[in-house]
Amino acid sequence: MDEKDKKALLSIARESIKSAITNTPDKQTQIEITSPGLQEKSGAFVTLKTHGKLRGCIGRMVSDIPLYKLVSEMAVSAAKEDPRFSQIKPSELEDLEIDISVLSPLQKIDDPLDLELGRHGIYIKKGASNGCFLPQVAAETGWTKEEFLSQCCSMKARLSPDAWKHKNVEVYIFTAEMIFEKINKNS
């Protein structure tokens, strides 16, 4: 993805959040999206932080809508609907940091230990239970492969920590193109 597309996605996310939180019209609805990269249908997560602390993270592993629309929806959901946090307040908008993870297609793996820490995210599924960790979680936590898989099973999928070892549990890997918003506090 080129820099223009990355800036467009960050702008779309920020304007969507601002519009939803302040109940004002979204300026992005007037922009015509012509870039093929932004029209792609891929999964994405939007992560919100304030002063480096997590304030919301919502996403979809796969999508049936264009990337720019998914990023808009996930940004608003992360700001208003992440059950772990209270809704973002208008007073927080100035300090809000936005990170976007654009996901590759899921790839099922037979041996979960084939994943590469820091490069692959994981999606674990058994029946209606599922959970995922983005690739950066391994780097942020310092977990081993086994810990990464076990924590995803227990924390995210609500399965036993060793569920990833069982044949009836599906483990998928994916990569993510990370788009970070650089906030310039000197302007």
The tens place of each residue's pLDDT in the chain, 187 residues long, gives 899 999 999 999 999 999 999 988 766 555 667 788 899 999 999 999 999 899 999 999 999 999 999 999 999 999 999 999 999 999 999 999 999 999 999 999 999 999 999 999 999 999 999 999 999 999 889 999 999 999 999 999 999 999 999 999 999 999 999 999 866 544 3
Residue 121 domain-assigned?
A: yes
Closest CA to 53 of 5, 9, 14, 86: 86
Range of the domain at 21: 3-103
Residue 54 domain-assigned?
A: yes
16 and 93 part of one domain: yes
CA 172 to chain centre: 16
Residue 161 domain-assigned?
A: yes
Instruction: Specify whether the CB–CB gap between 61 and 130 falls below 8 A.
Output: no
- Please tell me the total number of residues recorded for the chain in this structure: 187
Sign of CA dihedral 163, 168, 169, 174: positive
Q: Is the pTM higher than 0.75?
A: yes
